[in-house]
Chains A and B, each alone.
Chain A
Amino acid sequence: MGLLYFFSSLYFGVVGAILALLLRVQLSVPNNDFLQAAYYNQAVTMHGLIMIFWFLSPLGIALFNYLVPLQIGAKDLAFPRLNALTFWLFLAGGLMAVLSFFVPGGAAAAGWTSYEPLAGPVFSPGPGPTLTYLGLMMMAASVTVGSVNFIATILWLRKPGMKLLQMPMFTWFALFTVVAMLFAFPSIIAAFLLVLSDRLLGTVLYAPPSVLGVPGIDPSLLWDDLFWFFGHPEVYIVLLPAFGVIADLTPAFTGRPLAGKNWILLSTAVIVLPISFGVWMHHMFLTGIPSLLQEVFDASTEVISIPFGIIVIMFILSMVRGRVQFKTPFLFVIGALVLFIIGGIMGVFLSSPVLDRVFYGSYFVVSHFHYVMVGATIFGLFAGIYYWLPRMTGKMFSEKLGRLHFILSFVGFNILYAPMMLMSDMPRRIFTYQSIGDWAQLNGIATIGAFIFAGAQIVIAYNLLHTWFRGTPSGPNPWSSEDLEWSSPAEGATPAVHVESEPAGGWIGQLSSAASVSPATGGGESYSAGVAGHEVHLSSRPLTLSVGVMLFLTGAALYPGILPMGLMLLGVVIVGYSMVGWAWDDIRDRFTGPPEMEGGDRWPFDAVSKIKLGMWVFLSSEMVLFGTLLGAYVFIREAALQWPAAGSVHDIPLATANTLVLVTSGFTMVMAIYAIRKGDMRGLLAWLAATFVLGSVFIGVKMSEWAGLVSGPTPFVPGSTNAVTAIAASVYYVIVGLHGAHVVAGLIILVYLMKKTTKGGYTKERHEAIENFALYWAFVEIVWCFVFPLFYLL
């Protein structure tokens, strides 16, 4: 799984790098005509999106997948099939993004920041941007599922005796990264959900005032807030895996423990939450927010540099009185730290609203974020790749080539980005420029640096391939590290230590023959004995589910037409088949996940089961999603100077009755739990059925309610000629609709639960799924208790 992520992310990295080189060629001289404006804008947009979402983070996730289980002594992640799902969702999303170049109109071209209203259907029409953003949503879904998985794994699957503070640093940083992901990604999901609703369903959530004509509506600030609330934590999400690598590696090359390890952990915990979520408006200094707010976010941004300062100094102190070895991995660590220091200090310049009046939208910003996101992050991840290569392959790479790679990369990188510090009057994202001042020379130098930096990567590619096929064996622990991952044999180790590290036919063969394989040990076992640190996927469902979703969404983006409709239909069929198949697998208990360890360390969740922990984590993310959406609703409503009066649109008595129906279904769910806790099967089935009926009534009433809303002389629809109605309807249907989708999902799961009950799948002792579903159902109810008053009563 780690290897799958690794190679896929490298592929996307190459795509992103090619886009960057195209840009640099176009900008190398003034008035160039290598790339026209439209293509340039697509290239710059997709370069950003692909590099951030499909290269940098997945590369970190690849290392998490590979190393976290090894480092904590677990056999696999907590939810292996969900892990497979995260990979296929990521890959499918990336393919959709790349595909968007080839549809009429081309890919998204509004910058990776996708500001509104430029990125909406009015100013960026066509299927391309829609396809790009849908791919991004698949990636966001992948990240959400993945973070649930990693949090559950790290908190729940540590080997006996490994307390939290004894975990390796890399695993700690993995935990920090996924926690940040869990709380940040719902915001971007909400942001893009609204965009996609505008693009696909004709809502007017980000409609520009010039089109909608309603005074007060503020699509740009709505987008800014939703996007940057995610966007700022996101950059730390990208960075933290690299810091984790540095923290993990440094002791091996300095011959002494990390300095101030607990201070590093504390500093990161303080950055991850809450401060990284409290600086986002420094991207919005020029939007017209009051001076006081600008000063507040200036202060918060400055504050966040203090923990980073502590961390960097701790890394430096970790060399004091050590024995520093300048092997390739550590060269990259040093390089990463130097580049982070430069980029980080540039960030302090940008924290000043007054200085930002020059730097905003200029190449100074471009320089800053590439120093931290490429310099610190990539150099850190390179260090990790070199460091763990012996573990992954059992062979040692060429040190000479590693040093060459480092020198070329470091030199090329600086030639590329240092000149941009002097280009603070040149706007970003312009496809060409007149010959002004020293722009031509600086741009030319930067382009040369780009090609050196890109060319340097050929060295590592050659080094990796050569090592894989012809490298000298490295021995089990070439860096003399004490971390756990070195105590088990490497993949492809010498025959004396025989480990079945790759299933017969390779992992590709394993995945495609999945559905027909029945485990040799029958029923419950999903692992062949002796597989060390390399999970075996025996289910094809994650793959087919992702493929089905991809087909459906691609069809939706390209709609209308026969081919798109066909794709959507095919996608629905495959999704249905996958989900039914997955449910059947569960009913027959084909997969039980990694074996639970007796006495494994699980503090502070000793009493909570693994699946329940996963459900709680997932629900936290859902809370942020609905919270953000409701926040968007409040924002829209505040901005619009008019709104339909309470009671003028909706049938309040009917909706109130419906609310009672839903609340009652929560009560029946509680009764279901009581029933199974007593071992009463029939009672369980009866109460589940009652819940199902009540839930269906809720949906049925809602559908008739909506039928009434959209019919009649003045329909309450997003396409209404009355602009205020259009907005109110848009936000109503999206949020109430999303809640309804959650109810429907619950109903589908109820069918599965009832079916499994009839097959005797639940007992007095083992009925986790029922309790977890009840949690989910309760959450859905609670959300309704917020949605109902906000939309119906106020």
Chain B
Amino acid sequence: MYSGVLSTVPPTTATWDFLFNWYLIFGVSAAVVIISMLMYVALRYRAKGKGAPSQYKPTGWKVILAIVIIMGVVLAGAGYQTFAAFTNIDIPNTPGAVTVKVTGFQWAWNFTYPNGQYAIDNLTVPVDKVVILNVTSKDVYHTFGIAMLDVKEDAIPGHVNQLWFNMTQTGVYADAIRCYQLCGIGHAFMVANLIVISQSAWNATFGMQKG
């Protein structure tokens, strides 16, 4: 929804897009190849007149082996690329990262900042900084997701799940945050805004007070 709005691509989005394109190329190719093969075979060997079928060859183990090897290689490649992209999931150890607590509840998001201040349905973060969100729920199972940043984690009562991102452009991104788990009648309205401001402005308003 916000694709194309950002002039600089956030790291999580870049990683995800690269991975997705990889899967897409192989996935679409596989579909095209196999479906074409199916159509070709079906048409090539369609019944014409009353002739007897020509002699077919029994399927040997070599065909099976070929399938296993080809699929294995492609899938292994995909898996490898996914593992390499786990940087999106694993929380980086960046010094100076900003941490915000996110608590989902029926039916809104509470964002609590380092200085104790909180906001409902508005997440304000500094630009160009690693932001770590500690996500949990006050009541039922929700799921916190920011589609434009390709990050999402479950908000589970009794758990704290972490996600991270780094927003590279300031702005107000309305409805960028949504709930992705059915959580009752207000599920459709659990929507929040992402607001990205300068680091100094953010520190002034939400940062930990020093001294």
Check B59–A317 contact: CB distance below 8 A. yes
Check B85–A354 contact: CB distance below 8 A. yes
Q: Which B residues touch A353, using CB under 8 A?
A: 82, 86, 89
Check B188–A37 contact: CB distance below 8 A. yes
Check B53–A116 contact: CB distance below 8 A. no
- Interface flags, B178-211, vs A, CB<8A=1, else 0: 1111111111100000000000000000000000
Q: Which of B1, B38, B156, B187 contacts A334 (CB 8 A)?
A: B38
Known: A348-B27, A354-B89. A302 touches B154 (CB 8 A): no
Q: Which of B86, B158, B179 contacts A217 (CB 8 A)?
A: B158
Q: Which of A220, A298, A314, A431 contacts B79 (CB 8 A)?
A: A298
- Interface flags, A342-358, vs B, CB<8A=1, else 0: 10011011001111011
Q: Which of A310, A317, A354 contacts B68 (CB 8 A)?
A: A310
- Chain A CB within 8 A of B128 CB: no
Check B59–A123 contact: CB distance below 8 A. no
Q: Which A residues touch B41, using CB under 8 A?
A: 316-317, 319-320
> DSSP majority for the B interface?
mixed
Closest-by-CB residue of A relative to B179 is: A427
Check A324–B47 contact: CB distance below 8 A. yes
Q: Which of A117, A341, A354, A427 contacts B82 (CB 8 A)?
A: A354
Binds B, one of A80-88, A286-294, A411-419, A706-714: A286-294
A229 to B187, CA, bound (A): 26
Q: Which B residues touch A326, using CB under 8 A?
A: 42, 46
Q: Which of B34, B59, B154, B187 contacts A288 (CB 8 A)?
A: B154
Q: Which of B42, B140, B150 contacts A358 (CB 8 A)?
A: B150
Check A357–B88 contact: CB distance below 8 A. yes
Chain B nearest Cβ from A62, distance in angstroms: 28
Closest-by-CB residue of B relative to A317 is: B59
Check A362–B180 contact: CB distance below 8 A. yes
Known: A220-B159, A306-B75, A310-B67. A41 touches B182 (CB 8 A): yes
Q: Which A residues touch B58, using CB under 8 A?
A: 259
Q: Which of B27, B42, B79 contacts A319 (CB 8 A)?
A: B42
Between A110, A221, A357, A358, the greatest number of chain B beta carbons within 10 A of the residue's beta carbon is seen for: A357
Chain B nearest Cβ from A374, distance in angstroms: 18
Check A355–B75 contact: CB distance below 8 A. no
Query: How many of chain B's residues have a CB under 8 angstroms from any CB in A?
Result: 74
Binds B, one of A433-441, A553-561, A659-667, A751-759: A433-441
A320 to B185, CA, bound (A): 54
Q: Which of B140, B156, B182 contacts A429 (CB 8 A)?
A: B182
Check A314–B59 contact: CB distance below 8 A. yes
Binds B, one of A92-100, A208-216, A519-527: A208-216
Chain B nearest Cβ from A318, distance in angstroms: 9
Check B71–A306 contact: CB distance below 8 A. yes
- Chain B CB within 8 A of A260 CB: yes
Q: Which A residues touch B138, using CB under 8 A?
A: 210
- Chain A CB within 8 A of B172 CB: no
Check A360–B54 contact: CB distance below 8 A. no
Binds A, one of B13-21, B109-117, B119-127: B13-21
Check A208–B75 contact: CB distance below 8 A. no
- Interface flags, A412-455, vs B, CB<8A=1, else 0: 00000000000011011111111011000000000000000000
| Interfacial residues of chain B within 29-83, with CB under 8 A of chain A in the complex | 30-31, 34-35, 37-38, 41-42, 45-48, 51, 53-59, 63-64, 67-68, 71-72, 75, 78-79, 82-83
Check A298–B82 contact: CB distance below 8 A. yes
Q: Which A residues touch B78, using CB under 8 A?
A: 302, 348, 352
Q: Which A residues touch B34, using CB under 8 A?
A: 312-313, 316, 341
Check B141–A321 contact: CB distance below 8 A. no
- Chain A CB within 8 A of B98 CB: no
Known: A123-B139, A306-B68, A348-B27. A320 touches B56 (CB 8 A): yes
A317 to B63, CA, bound (A): 10
Q: Which 8 A-B pairs have the closest CB atoms?
A: A361-B180, A430-B188, A425-B147, A260-B59, A323-B47, A37-B185, A321-B56, A429-B182
Seed contacts A319-B45, A323-B47; 9 additional CB < 8 Å A-B pairs: A256-B56, A286-B143, A298-B79, A306-B75, A317-B41, A324-B46, A352-B23, A361-B180, A425-B1
Identify the A interface with B (CB < 8 A). 37-38, 41, 44, 109-111, 115-118, 123, 208-210, 215-221, 254-257, 259-260, 263, 286-288, 291, 294-295, 298-299, 302-303, 305-306, 309-310, 312-314, 316-317, 319-326, 334, 337-338, 341-342, 345-346, 348-349, 352-355, 357-358, 360-362, 424-425, 427-434, 436-437
Selected A-B contacts with CB under 8 Å, 9 pairs: A37-B185, A117-B140, A208-B140, A218-B159, A291-B86, A337-B38, A355-B23, A358-B150, A428-B182
